Structure 1
Amino acid sequence: MNIECPYCEKLTDYNFGDPIIQTHHWIVFLAPNQSNLATCVVALKRDKKTLSGLKNEEWEDFVQLLERMEKSVKIAFDATLFNWGCLMNTFYMEDTLEPHLHWHFIPRYNHPVEFAGHTFEDPHFGYMRPRPPKEISEDVRNQIADKIRKFL
C-alpha cells in the first residue's frame, strides 16, 4: 500500500514495517515481527522524540486510532487483549537512528489463531517475554494487513 505523508520517507529508515493506514497525525505499520499476530507500530507523522509536548489534537487522534485498531484486530483475529507500549530504549544504544516517537501495539491471545496456513500462538500469554520473529511470507503479511484494514 502506498501511503504518503510529509514525514513518511524518514520513517522508512526506521524499519517499522509495512504501512497499513494513516490518520492526520499517525501512521500505522504492520511490524516486521508477527510472533504476536497483528503486531503494529504506530508512529507520529512529525519529528518528536518524547510523549511530552504532544499536541491535544495528536492525543485525540491517537485515542481514536487506538479504539479503531483494537476493534479491528478483535474482530479480525479474536485477540484477547492489547498491550500498548512507548518504548524508546533502543534509540539510545550505539549507532542507532535519532529517537522518533512511536507506540508498539501488541495483541495478545489466550488461544492459538489459524490464519493463512499458519498457527499463531502466544505461549507467554499474561507475561511480557521476548519472542523470536515468526517467519511469514510477504503474501501472508499482506493478508494480515488487508484483514486489519477490512475492519477499520
Structure 2
Amino acid sequence: MECEYFEKINHRKYGELLAETGHWLIILAPDQRNLGTCVVALKRNETELSGLNADEWADLAFVVRKLEFAVKKAFHPTMFNWGCLMNSSYLEDPPSPHLHWHFIPRYQDTVVFHGKTFEDPCFGRSTMHDRGRSMKLSEEFTTKIKNEITKYLEI
C-alpha cells in the first residue's frame, strides 16, 4: 500500500488500529471527545464513494454492523453518526484525499469509563458545532478503550 494516508496510520498519527477486514481498517481515533470514536478507512487508494465496488460496499455494511454492536456493548451510546468528510484533505498542498468514514458514538447521558467522565454537549446536533473541544488521552487509557471495544468486536 503506497499511500500517504497509510503512512500516517503506520506512524499512529490517526490512532490505534482495532481491526481490519478484507477492504477496511478500523482505527480508534486519537480524539476521544465522544468515547469510542473511530475512523474506518479503505485499504486501497480511492478518493470518492462512487469508486467503491460491490465487495467494498458489502464489507462496509459488515463493518458497520460489527462496530456498532461492539461499541453499544462497550459504552452504551444512544446512537451513532457516520460521516464521510474529507474536507481537511484539501487544506494540504497538494491535496491528498483518501476515502474514509468517521464513526462517532453519540451519548444523551454522561458516561464514566475507568473513572474518566465523557460528556456529549452537542447531543442532538452535529459535532461540527463543537470543533474547539477535543480529548486526547494517555496511551494507557487509549489501550483501555481499545480493549473494551475489541472484547466485543468479532471480525
Provide the TM-score with structure 1 as the length reference. Answer: 0.90
For structure 1, the 5+ residue unaligned runs are 1-5
CA RMSD of the aligned region, Å? 1.7
Matched pairs, number? 147
Distance in 1 (alpha carbons) for counterparts of 2:101 and 2:135: 20
Residue of structure 2 equivalent to 1:64: 62
Contact 2:41–2:99 (8 Å) recurs in 1: yes
1:102 matched to 2:100: yes
Q: Which amino acid aligns with 1:73?
A: V
Give the 3 Å change call, closer, same or farther, for CA 50–143 of structure 1 in structure 2: same
Contact 2:19–2:27 (8 Å) recurs in 1: yes
Residue of structure 2 equivalent to 1:151: 152
Q: Secondary structure, in 3 states, of the residue corresponding to 1:125?
A: coil
For structure 2, the 5+ residue unaligned runs are none
Superposed CA offset, 1:44-83 (max 9, x none): 0000011012010000000010010001101100011000
Percent identity, please.
Answer: 49
Provide the TM-score with structure 2 as the length reference. Answer: 0.88
1:119 matched to 2:120: no
Within the candidate set 5, 8, 16, 1:13 is matched to 8
